[in-house]
Homo-oligomer: A and B are copies of this chain.
Amino acid sequence: MVYFNCDYTEGAHPRILEKLAGTNLEQTPGYGQDIYCEQAARLILQACAAPEAQVHFLVGGTQANFTVIRWALRAHQGVIAPETGHIHVHETGAVEATGHKILALPCGIEGKLTAAQVEKAAAEHFAGSMPPVHMVQPKMVYISQSTENGAVYSLAELEALHGACQKWGLYLFVDGARMGYGLTAKGADVTLEDMARLCDAFTIGGTKCGALFGEAVVLVNPELSEGFGYAVKQNGGMLAKGRLLGLQFLELFRDGLYFEICGRANQLAYQIADACKGAGFTEYAPSPTNQQFFVFPDPVLRQLEAKYHFSFWEKVDEGRTAVRICTSWATREENVRALMEDIRAAGSRL
């Protein structure tokens, strides 16, 4: 069986394992106070052109999300998110478990929020003369780059969201679990510098982008940085051997490895998408990144799933199912070629 179901089926990029092995017996201070975390943070801030920002390394994405959100919000405040947002759907209510409501807004198949939606939601709350104390006060906007359905915010969209947030006093927080794929996507015009310029906080995902694990939390707005270490510890995100996180991000950002491997995975994903379209299968959601979403007749899917793992996404109708096909740094070209052939063959039998 070959796994195309997600981007975290293997371990880490070999260079990362080498780095871990090569430094294994060095003694360093714990809890992220080591030289590797310091160097990795510096590299990331250089890439962001944001020398005043702060970087903290956390282990996982759910943890990073709820830690930042809980930290940024006061008790009566909530976070606006698209209704397909990871925090709303797939984190077991972790944000609510810290006491905060997610103000979910409808979004299209791409899973994006628009500035107009944010403006409307904020205006409804803040426009009156009295604070509407019976309702949760919006204070943050959460989006993902790339989104759950593989889409990418353009620079114009991001700037509009930034503008809406500035206007209404909202923080803009971007979940970058798949930031590497988002920034290297076909047609993408957003850079890390833009992220740092337009967001109050964002994450740069390691887990799905070549690391064993780890998310770099970049705190740009100084209101959010002071004391964030307390939040990391309190929420169980402070790794005793913090060096493990520093070392991995150091390797990923030392010479562009992060973007190189994510870009390559995107390219492989496009090949698969082309094969699907060529064979006549319907695109479920348009995606320029490593996650591709296609609709297959159920008998076709059963055949393919004898050899390949995909992620079930949705039962589209009686006889058809949408699945996610995913590539990563570790995806082998021969497996992609085999999958493409099988897809073409399935198409020709329709």
Q: What is the interface of chain A, defined by CB distance below 8 A to chain B? A: 1-3, 6, 8-12, 14, 17, 20-21, 23-31, 59-63, 66-67, 70-71, 74-76, 78, 89-94, 96-102, 131, 133-137, 207-208, 212-213, 227, 229-241, 243-244, 330
**Chain B residues within 8 Å of A237, by CB:** 63, 236
Smallest CB gap from A235: residue in B: B236
Query: Given A27-B2, A75-B234, A96-B96, is A59 in contact with B11 using a C-beta cutoff of 8 Å?
Result: no
Q: Name 26 interchain pairs, CB-CB below 8 A, sorted by A.
A: A1-B27, A9-B27, A11-B20, A11-B24, A12-B24, A17-B17, A17-B24, A31-B133, A31-B134, A60-B236, A62-B236, A76-B227, A89-B135, A90-B135, A92-B134, A92-B233, A93-B99, A93-B101, A94-B233, A94-B234, A96-B96, A97-B234, A133-B229, A133-B238, A137-B230, A235-B236
By the criterion CB–CB under 8 Å, are B134 and A91 in contact?
yes
- Min CB distance A74 to B, Å, is 8
Of the residues B3, B90, B100, B244, contact of A11 by C-beta under 8 Å: B244
By the criterion CB–CB under 8 Å, are B8 and A27 in contact?
no
Smallest CB gap from A33: residue in B: B130
By the criterion CB–CB under 8 Å, are A91 and B234 in contact?
yes
**Chain B residues within 8 Å of A63, by CB:** 236-237
By the criterion CB–CB under 8 Å, are B75 and A70 in contact?
yes
By the criterion CB–CB under 8 Å, are A92 and B71 in contact?
no
Q: How many identical subunits does the complex contain? A: 4
- Min CB distance A165 to B, Å, is 19
Smallest CB gap from A59: residue in B: B59
Among A6, A17, A76, residue most surrounded by chain B Cβ atoms (within 10 Å):
A76
**Chain B residues within 8 Å of A59, by CB:** 59-60, 213, 236, 239
A96–B30 Cα distance when bound, in Å, is 24
A92–B231 Cα distance when bound, in Å, is 8
Of the residues B25, B78, B208, B232, contact of A330 by C-beta under 8 Å: B25
A223–B16 Cα distance when bound, in Å, is 41
Query: Given A71-B75, A97-B99, is A23 in contact with B11 using a C-beta cutoff of 8 Å?
Result: yes
By the criterion CB–CB under 8 Å, are B93 and A76 in contact?
yes
By the criterion CB–CB under 8 Å, are B94 and A236 in contact?
yes
By the criterion CB–CB under 8 Å, are A93 and B235 in contact?
no
Query: Given A78-B93, A133-B230, is A30 in contact with B6 using a C-beta cutoff of 8 Å?
Result: yes
Of the residues B17, B60, B74, B93, contact of A240 by C-beta under 8 Å: B60
**Chain B residues within 8 Å of A60, by CB:** 59, 236, 238-240
Smallest CB gap from A100: residue in B: B96
Smallest CB gap from A205: residue in B: B240
Of the residues B26, B71, B212, B233, contact of A62 by C-beta under 8 Å: B233
